[in-house]
Amino acid sequence: MSRIEWRRRPGQWVSQGISPHVEHVEPEPSERLGPRIEELRRLIADEVVPLEGEMLRGGFLAVEPRLLALRDRARGLGLFAPHLPRAWGGAGLALPELALVGEVLGWSPLGHYVCNCQAPDAGNMELLLRHGSEDQQQRWLGPLGRGELRSCFGMTEPDLPGSNPVWMATTARRDGGDYVLDGRKWFTSGAEGAAFCIVMAVTDPDAPPHARASMLLVPADTPGFELLRNLPVMGETGGGWASHGEVSLRGARVPASHRIGEEGAGFALAQERLGPGRIHHCMRWIGICERAFDLMCRRAVTRELAPGEPLASRQLVQAWVAESRAEIDASRLLVLRAAERIEREGAAAARDDISLIKFHVAGVMQRVLDRALQTHGAAGLVDETPLAFWWRHERGARIYDGPDEVHKTAVARRILARYARREVSPETPRR
């Protein structure tokens, strides 16, 4: 296991307008990782960020060929598929190290795609790595890890609440040596162009709620599997990986060998998949926050309300800057603590930490984006910067992977239950 070292050092992002002489207490990557992270920063700033304008004007598909070409640069840095072991062509990073890489990639909406660690593929790779059969790993995990194909994940349904993951209508009926799937999924991210979908479906409706569903690999060319449409998210339909599909399954037949893990293990696998996945998301969100903070500060010092009166001279804007800096730095520490705990003790032991980071960092991101948009005025509403794009697509952070309200309720109940059982006395701090 690789642990993060902490030391005082110069601020990392010169492009943030932070003087190299101003010190911050920040996580320090290992000597092995540090130089590669600095090279990755330059790759994102010099090669990826310049593609954002065309992506915002013409959509993801307009820039995908150049992003695929940049993947060779990521391979050269040894940071391609950083979440996978070296045996599968990845960088073999520990989760805390992966978190630091995720923040750097989050600086651009296109960053993770360049390193082949974008959602939902990263989570699907981790799932297949831990629970896929040898055949499944050779057929699907290998090509995914090499970036030869993409995948999607079908869990959320339009007619039932996503906040109750054990209640779903999609079924997988056993028929001899096959499963036959029927149902409908939506917000199946990246379904357009995906080679296969990992579908969560009820295999035993009479089992206890958490043992009713299983996960099944459904190739996209399976008869009965159909992408109905890409959902317009706040008016933007997207395309390719950067889209959210509605998928229909009508008698889609797959062999039983396409089941991942044991029958009825779907919910447990989904929960396991979400633990590290929330670290990925949260550090990406912190990268978004840092970019939004940079844009806000640059706008504040260059935009004048009147000759000689920049926005930065207003106390309200100064408060936004101070609040954002504090919230971003606190969020980073919270997420890295969760990553360390998952690495040491496993996701089950870190479930409070995972819930805390999910709702806390999502809320911080929304507030930082809102302040940055407000600082830009009308310019924040158009695609001259990535702020409007992030506002459209990241508002869902407080909904997907469990809405904020569910995480807050769950973690509060666990804390209060420990008090009720007197595992922690009322006079003793929790930690």
DSSP labels for 296-351?
Answer: HHHHHHH-EEETTEEGGGSHHHHHHHHHHHHHHHHHHHHHHHHHHHHHHH-TTTTH
Whether residue 223 contacts residue 181, with contact meaning beta carbons closer than 8 Å, is answered with: no
Distance, in Å, from the CA atom of 7 to the CA atom of 213, rounded to the nearest integer, reads 46
Question: What pLDDT does 423 receive?
Answer: 57
Neighbouring residues of 110: CB distance < 8 A, sequence distance ≥ 6 = 48, 51, 52, 55, 63, 67
In the predicted model, is pLDDT for residue 272 greater than 90? no
Distance, in Å, from the CA atom of 431 to the CA atom of 429, rounded to the nearest integer, reads 6
In the predicted model, is pLDDT for residue 337 greater than 50? yes
Terminal-to-terminal C-alpha distance of the chain: 23
271 band by pLDDT with thresholds 50, 70 and 90: confident
How confident is the prediction for the chain on average, in pLDDT?
91
Q: What is the pLDDT of residues 59-102, one digit of tens each?
A: 999 999 999 999 999 999 999 999 999 999 999 999 999 999 99
Whether residue 260 contacts residue 217, with contact meaning beta carbons closer than 8 Å, is answered with: yes
Q: Delimit the domains of the chain by residue range.
A: 5-124, 151-260, 268-420
In the predicted model, is pLDDT for residue 17 greater than 70? no
Q: What are phi and psi of 144, to 5 degrees?
A: -60, -50
Q: What integer is the mean pLDDT of 299-325?
A: 97
Question: What pLDDT does 401 receive?
Answer: 84
Question: What pLDDT does 10 receive?
Answer: 35
Q: What is the pLDDT of residues 167-198, one digit of tens each?
A: 999 999 999 999 999 999 999 999 999 999 99
Q: What is the pLDDT of residues 406-419, one digit of tens each?
A: 999 999 999 999 99
In this structure, is the dihedral angle defined by the CA atoms of residues 238, 241, 243 and 246, taken in order, positive or negative? Answer: positive
Q: What integer is the mean pLDDT of 113-122?
A: 97
Question: What pLDDT does 276 receive?
Answer: 83
Whether residue 198 contacts residue 126, with contact meaning beta carbons closer than 8 Å, is answered with: no
In the predicted model, is pLDDT for residue 210 greater than 60? yes
426 band by pLDDT with thresholds 50, 70 and 90: low
431 band by pLDDT with thresholds 50, 70 and 90: low
Whether residue 198 contacts residue 270, with contact meaning beta carbons closer than 8 Å, is answered with: no
In the predicted model, is pLDDT for residue 8 greater than 60? no
In the predicted model, is pLDDT for residue 282 greater than 50? yes
Q: Which two tokens stand for residue 264?
A: 């009825």
Question: What pLDDT does 348 receive?
Answer: 87
Q: Which two tokens stand for residue 59?
A: 């959509």
- Distance of alpha carbon 59 from the chain centroid: 20
- Distance of alpha carbon 302 from the chain centroid: 33
In the predicted model, is pLDDT for residue 427 greater than 80? no
Q: What integer is the mean pLDDT of 263-280?
A: 90
Question: What pLDDT does 32 receive?
Answer: 79
**Beta bridge mates, 151:** 196
Cα–Cα nearest to 364, from 335, 389, 384: 335
Cα–Cα nearest to 5, from 31, 38, 35, 36: 31
Q: Which two tokens stand for residue 229?
A: 């449409």
Whether residue 404 contacts residue 359, with contact meaning beta carbons closer than 8 Å, is answered with: yes
Q: Which amino acid is at 139?
A: R
> What DSSP character marks residue 86?
G
CATH 2.40.110.10 fits 151-260, yes or no: yes
In the predicted model, is pLDDT for residue 343 greater than 60? yes
In the predicted model, is pLDDT for residue 34 greater than 90? no
Whether residue 42 contacts residue 104, with contact meaning beta carbons closer than 8 Å, is answered with: no
Neighbours of 396 (CB within 10 A): 15
CATH 3.50.50.60 fits 268-420, yes or no: no
Q: Which two tokens stand for residue 320?
A: 């936004």
Residue with tokens 């003790």: 345
For the whole prediction, is pTM greater than 0.85? yes
Distance, in Å, from the CA atom of 107 to the CA atom of 112, rounded to the nearest integer, reads 9
Question: What pLDDT does 425 receive?
Answer: 59
Question: What pLDDT does 347 receive?
Answer: 87
Q: What percent of the chain stands above pLDDT 90?
A: 85
Q: What is the pLDDT of residues 382-401, one digit of tens each?
A: 999 999 999 999 999 999 88
- Distance of alpha carbon 416 from the chain centroid: 29
As to burial, measured by CB atoms within 10 angstroms (0-12 exposed, 13-18 middle, 19+ buried), residue 38 is middle
Question: What pLDDT does 19 receive?
Answer: 36
Q: Which two tokens stand for residue 121?
A: 């593929």
Q: Which two tokens stand for residue 330?
A: 């606190």
For domain 5-124, the CATH class is mainly alpha
> What DSSP character marks residue 29?
-
- Rg (C-alpha) for the chain, rounded Å, is 22
Question: What pLDDT does 5 receive?
Answer: 45
Same-fold call for 5-124 versus 151-260: no
Pairing of strands 23-28, 213-219: unpaired
236 band by pLDDT with thresholds 50, 70 and 90: very high
Q: What integer is the mean pLDDT of 45-72?
A: 97
In the predicted model, is pLDDT for residue 308 greater than 50? yes
Question: What pLDDT does 21 receive?
Answer: 35
